[in-house]
Amino acid sequence: MELLSMLSANELVAQTVSFLILFFILRAFFWKPILKLLDERKEKIASELKSIEEEKATAQEIMADYEAKLKTIDDAAKAEIQEAVLEGQKIIEQAKSDARSESEKIIIEARAQANRELAMTRQELKDEVVDLVLDATEHLLEEKMSDREDRRIVKSFLDNLDKT
Amino acid sequence: MNESGSAPEILNLVTYLERVLKDTPWAKFLLLWENVIFSLIIAVIMILLGFLALRKRKLIPGRAQNAAESFVGGLDDFITGIMGPRGRRYTPFIGTLFIYILFMNISGIIPFMKSSTSSWSTTLALALCVFVYVQYTAFSELGFLGYMDRLMEKPRGFLAFSVIYPLLMLSLHIISELVKPISLSLRLRSNIWGDDMLLAVLSGFGLKGVPLLLFSSVLILIAAVIQTVVFCLLTTIYFAFILIEHEEEAT
């Protein structure tokens, strides 16, 4: 009973009513708007995060695509380089073989030329020797033979000399 | 106790006006509604603060809105953390209780103010609001029979036929439900009343008591917060028992 004496019915009712009024006012003008605002922000952040994730996925796809394309380009470039190298080597080989055959041709020509010149020189030398021998023989024999006969004799002599 | 034998009390706005208006009907009126007046002052302050915080509502908040949102967000997380996502429905009720009780508790250390929660009528009024809301939730969530079944500790099999056990459990649970608002309100009232008494006694020491008064004020501030948390936590748990029970039945 002593405990109950601390209570005041009027105060109890007034406090209940004042709390309920406060609750309904705050619920309508404070709690609901602010909770709605928090939900909206949460949803906005969630949707933005989702769109960021989607953009990230798209970017990754594009990156993978670019990487694949780069790889293809790289492979193609490598193949082209390889092809060019092979082509170059072929050209070099061709040039080498051309140069070789050309040089061989030149050498052969040079040899033929040299042989021709050698033969000519020999001929000239022969002619000169024949002349010298004829002169010498003329002096020795002091007898002049016909030029044509002299040449025949000396030539036959020299031919015999070559054979021996 | 003072000379008249009543508990010591610090001078506040109402007692000051009562002294000024001496023996007039206004003085009696003020003294009769002292706690209600201070509660109404707190209520008006709360409404003004709420209005100021959300006056210029924006998606990117200002300082006041940010503080209000942090508080509401934290409280909502706390309540939904205990009750689950359905607890969101009770955030305004428990939140209002939290701020109202906290402000009333703290107002005791503000000069010329008084903690309305040092009156049992105030705390019992709040506890009765909680009691009615919890019972309404129990009946609406579990249904009349479901709630009675729960109060009888769900007797099944043999226990269902032994009339004594379910009736005993029913009566025990009814008593425990009825005791809840009394324990809830008396705990809060007694703690805050004790704090007020301490302040009143220390303020009677004059200047010598000032350091002790300041130190006690800090302790009282902490106690005010703790008592608010206890009251609201218990309220949350009362709701959570009903909601969890309902979810278990649903699953």
- Give residue for tokens 């928090």: A38
Q: Is B111 helix (H, G, I), strand (E, B) or coil?
A: coil
Rounded to the nearest angstrom, the gap between the alpha carbon of residue A59 and the centroid of all alpha carbons in its chain is 30
Residue in B43, B69, B73 closest to A18 by CB = B43
Q: What is the rounded average pLDDT of the residues A14-29?
A: 94
The answer to whether residue B7 is domain-embedded is no
Note the pTM of the prediction, 2 decimals: 0.72
The pLDDT assigned to B5 comes to 46
Any A CB within 8 A of B43 CB: yes
Interface contact A18-B39, CB threshold 8 A: yes
**Structural domain boundaries enclosing B243:** 13-250
Instruction: Please report the ipTM that was assigned to this predicted complex.
Output: 0.89
How many angstroms separate the CA of residue A49 from the nearest CA in chain B?
Answer: 17
* Closest listed residue to residue B50, CA positions, set A28, A146, A147, A67: A28
B95 vs A contacts (CB less than 8 Å): 26, 31
Q: Tell me the H-state helices in B33-163.
A: 34-53, 63-83, 91-106, 120-151, 158-161
Domain count, chain B: 1
How many angstroms separate the CA of residue B42 from the nearest CA in chain A?
Answer: 10
| Helical packing angle, B120-151 and B34-53, nearest 10° | 80
Tell me what percent of the residues of chain A surpass a pLDDT of 90: 54
Residue in A11, A16, A38 closest to B69 by CB = A38
Interface contact B51-A29, CB threshold 8 A: yes
The answer to whether residue B36 is domain-embedded is yes
CA geometry: angle at B228 spanning A39 and B36, to 5°? Answer: 100
Q: What is the rounded average pLDDT of the residues A101-127?
A: 89
How many angstroms separate the CA of residue B202 from the nearest CA in chain A?
Answer: 24
* Alpha-carbon span B54 to B86, nearest angstrom: 25
The answer to whether residue B156 is domain-embedded is yes
The pLDDT assigned to B2 comes to 45
B217: its two tokens: 């004020």
A30 vs B contacts (CB less than 8 Å): 50-51, 53-54, 68
The answer to whether residue B246 is domain-embedded is yes
**Residues listed for chain B:** 251
Interface contact A26-B32, CB threshold 8 A: no
The answer, yes or no, to whether residue A102 has pLDDT greater than 70, is: yes
Condensed to tens digits (0 to 9), the pLDDT of residues B74-84 reads 999 999 998 88
The answer to whether residue B3 is domain-embedded is no
Q: Which residue of A has its CA nearest to B189?
A: A6
Count CB atoms within 10 A of the CB of residue B38.
25
Average pLDDT, rounded, for chain A: 88
The answer to whether residue B4 is domain-embedded is no
The pLDDT assigned to B208 comes to 82
> Backbone dihedral region of A78: left (phi > 0), alpha (psi from -120 to 50 degrees) or beta?
alpha
Condensed to tens digits (0 to 9), the pLDDT of residues B199-218 reads 888 888 888 888 888 899 99
The answer to whether residue B71 is domain-embedded is yes
* Alpha-carbon span B152 to B170, nearest angstrom: 5
Count CB atoms within 10 A of the CB of residue A55.
10
The answer, yes or no, to whether residue A62 has pLDDT greater than 90, is: yes
The answer to whether residue B25 is domain-embedded is yes
**A interface toward B at CB cutoff 8 Å?**
3, 6-8, 10-16, 18-23, 25-27, 29-35, 37-38, 40-41, 44
Any A CB within 8 A of B54 CB: yes
